[in-house]
């Protein structure tokens, strides 16, 4: 099993380049099914979730090819509408293949999806929307059989702006007859990116970035395209927060400022307490220098975009451990995203959890290294952040979770001077 050995406290110096967004790439891979042709995803990050998606597509007849330019996926020769059980059960984003499979083949069999165990993750919004577009759904304990001889445009109001359901319904509507109105959709930058990508392929989606989308069904999309997805805002946030927490002098390149602006503002506000903090922002990169006493960045409540991203919640908690003052985080998107706290406790962390609100009592140098186990993807990354600011050595087990979403995390950190080492191989499937 892969683990990280981490020695803290670290300082960071140098430049790190952010990869294209995991959550954009995964849906663009799903969307490639609609093309019945070829997409080159430029600079595609080599992360485990992408590898699993490639495995799923290959097992139904698609081809995938990694080159220096990125990942090419060709879906022309898909020969079955039954998605492989074991692989789809592993990754929740595989359920986003349902929309495009239905749109192209009128039927799909898919197992109930897996993914990080961060709470109940029902699929009712996906399924209700698909039904409104004309799909019929049969299910047993393990899988769904979804069919639709004719997908027809409809007016669908999402009861919650689910990212995945929004994307699935967009993908299902691209070829639907007539006009589809999706109301109360997710506005996450990755949803916007998917819409821009689909329009570049020939889809007709309007209202991009707003709460309501209109999709005018088209007969087909282009057969070949290359696309560069937006930079990963969660990876950007992770490196930005880590650079704030540790003594550092770091340039973060390939960023989309708009998508992380609030975070940079919070850090900039701290300069009144600590003149050693300096952030300079350009349109596609930022520079952060951080020295001396670090203070809490305040209280956060996670919510759909443009609110504070739930995927940054565990990272912000880890920052809370190493700074002066209290950091309070209220989780409203997922109901059980606190598994990382059990690991923090092993490091001597002080916190209290009341319902869905955690208060972290910053202890700075009193946090010590420990033997830790990643509970999930972002919880795992938070353990790396905490270990890099702690005194002494940590062993972090099950880092395959981190590799699901962070490209070359250990190598990028090493290039900044962090003392982190991957041991027991570079790939593990657990
Ligand atoms: C996506 C992201 C994930 C991010 C999350 C929220 C991908 C591959 N993953 O996950 O990184 O943390 O958005 O920004 O893009 N819900 C329902 N019924 C449904 C669907 C969702 O109740 O049919 C609930 C979920 O249980 C959760 C909330 O809605 O409480 C948000 O989930 P959703 O936005 O769907 O997240 P994902 O698309 O799974």
**Domain shared by 186 and 153, yes or no:** yes
Average pLDDT of span 336-347 = 95
CATH of residue 215's domain is 3.65.10.10
Q: Higher-confidence residue: 26 or 93?
A: 26
Q: Which domain holds residue 106?
A: 22-227
Distance from the CA of 163 to the center of ligand 1, in angstroms? 5
Distance from the CA of 396 to the center of ligand 1, in angstroms? 27
Rounded to 5 degrees, φ, ψ at 222 are -65, 165
**Domain shared by 64 and 195, yes or no:** yes
Q: Report if residue 361 sits inside a domain.
A: yes
CB of 110 sitting under 6 A from ligand 1? no
The tokens describing 33, both together, are: 């099914």
**360 pLDDT higher than 80:** yes
**Domain shared by 215 and 240, yes or no:** no
pLDDT digits (tens, 9 = 90+) for 313-332: 999 999 999 999 999 999 99
Q: Report if residue 325 sits inside a domain.
A: yes
pLDDT digits (tens, 9 = 90+) for 180-231: 999 999 999 999 999 999 999 999 999 999 999 999 999 999 999 999 999 9
**430 pLDDT higher than 50:** no
Residue at which a domain ends, from 227, 257, 272: 227
Does the predicted TM-score (pTM) go above 0.75? yes
Give the CA angle between residues 82, 88, 90 to the nearest 5°: 165
pLDDT digits (tens, 9 = 90+) for 7-46: 999 999 999 999 999 999 999 999 999 999 999 999 999 9
pLDDT digits (tens, 9 = 90+) for 378-428: 999 999 999 999 999 999 999 999 999 999 999 999 999 999 999 976 554
Question: How many domains does one find in the chain?
Answer: 2
Residue at which a domain ends, from 195, 227, 259: 227
The tokens describing 282, both together, are: 């350009």
pLDDT digits (tens, 9 = 90+) for 41-75: 999 999 999 999 999 999 999 999 999 999 999 99
**Domain shared by 113 and 178, yes or no:** yes
Give the residues across from 224 on adjacent strands: 38
Rounded to 5 degrees, φ, ψ at 252 are -110, 115
CA 338 → CA 88, 199, 317, 403, 407, distances in Å? 25, 38, 10, 20, 24
Which atom of ligand 1 lies closest to the CA of 234? 11
Distance from the CA of 167 to the center of ligand 1, in angstroms? 11
* Local structure of 113: helix, strand or coil: coil
State the helix-helix crossing angle for 98-105 and 163-173, rounded to 10 degrees: 10
The radius of gyration of the chain's CA atoms, rounded to the nearest angstrom, is 22
Give the residues across from 70 on adjacent strands: 42
**Domain shared by 38 and 7, yes or no:** no
**Domain shared by 7 and 29, yes or no:** no
**113 pLDDT higher than 80:** no
Q: Specify the residue with its C-alpha closest to ligand 1, atom 5.
A: 163
Q: What is the DSSP letter of 408?
A: T
Residue at which a domain ends, from 197, 227, 257: 227
Q: Report if residue 419 sits inside a domain.
A: yes
Average pLDDT, rounded, for the chain: 94
Helix, strand, coil % (nearest 5) of the chain?
35, 30, 35
Residues 342 and 376: their CA atoms lie apart, in Å, by 12
Q: What are the start-end ranges of the H helices in 246-376? A: 257-269, 313-322, 340-346
**Measured torsion, CA atoms of residues 414, 44, 337, 428, in degrees rounded to the nearest 10:** -70
């Amino acid at each position: 099993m892969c683990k990280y050995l981490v020695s803290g406290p670290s300082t960071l110096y140098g430049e790190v380049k952010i990869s294209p967004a995991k959550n954009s790439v995964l849906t663009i891979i799903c969307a490639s099914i609609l093309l019945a042709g070829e997409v080159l995803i430029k600079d595609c990050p080599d992360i485990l979730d992408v590898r699993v998606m490639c495995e799923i597509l290959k097992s139904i007849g698609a081809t995938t090819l990694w080159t220096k330019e990125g990942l090419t996926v060709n879906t022309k020769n898909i020969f079955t509408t039954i998605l492989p059980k074991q692989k789809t059960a592993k990754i929740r984003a595989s359920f986003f293949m349902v929309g495009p499979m239905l749109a192209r083949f009128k039927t799909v069999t898919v197992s109930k999806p897996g993914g990080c165990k961060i709470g109940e993750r029902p699929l009712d919004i996906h399924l209700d929307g698909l039904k409104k577009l004309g799909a019929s759904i049969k299910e047993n304990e393990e899988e769904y059989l979804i069919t639709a001889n004719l997908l027809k445009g409809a007016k669908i109001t999402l009861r919650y702006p689910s990212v995945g359901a929004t994307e699935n319904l967009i993908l299902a509507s691209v070829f639907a007859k007539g006009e589809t109105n999706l109301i109360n959709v997710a506005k996450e930058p990755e949803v916007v990116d998917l819409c821009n990508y689909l329009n570049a392929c020939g889809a007709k989606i309007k209202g991009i970035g707003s709460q309501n989308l209109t999709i005018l069904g088209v007969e087909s999309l282009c057969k070949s395209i290359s696309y560069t997805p937006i930079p990963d805002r969660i990876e950007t946030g992770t490196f930005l927060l880590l650079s704030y927490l540790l003594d550092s002098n770091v340039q973060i390149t390939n960023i989309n400022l708009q998508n992380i602006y609030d975070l940079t503002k919070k850090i900039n506000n701290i300069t009144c307490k600590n003149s050693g903090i300096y952030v300079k922002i350009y349109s596609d990169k930022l520079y952060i220098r951080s020295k001396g006493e670090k203070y809490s960045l305040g209280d956060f409540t996670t919510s759909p975009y443009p609110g504070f991203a739930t995927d940054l919640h565990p990272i912000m908690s880890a920052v809370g451990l190493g700074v002066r003052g209290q950091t309070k985080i209220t989780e409203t998107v997922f109901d059980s995203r606190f598994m990382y706290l059990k690991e923090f406790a092993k490091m001597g962390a002080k916190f209290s959890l009341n319902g869905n609100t955690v208060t972290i009592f910053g202890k700075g140098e009193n946090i010590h290294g420990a033997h830790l186990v990643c509970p999930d993807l972002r919880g795992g990354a938070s353990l790396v952040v905490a270990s890099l600011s702690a005194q002494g050595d940590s062993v972090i087990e099950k880092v395959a979770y981190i590799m699901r979403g962070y490209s070359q995390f250990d190598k990028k950190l090493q290039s900044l001077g962090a003392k982190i080492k991957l041991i027991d191989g570079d790939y593990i499937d657990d």
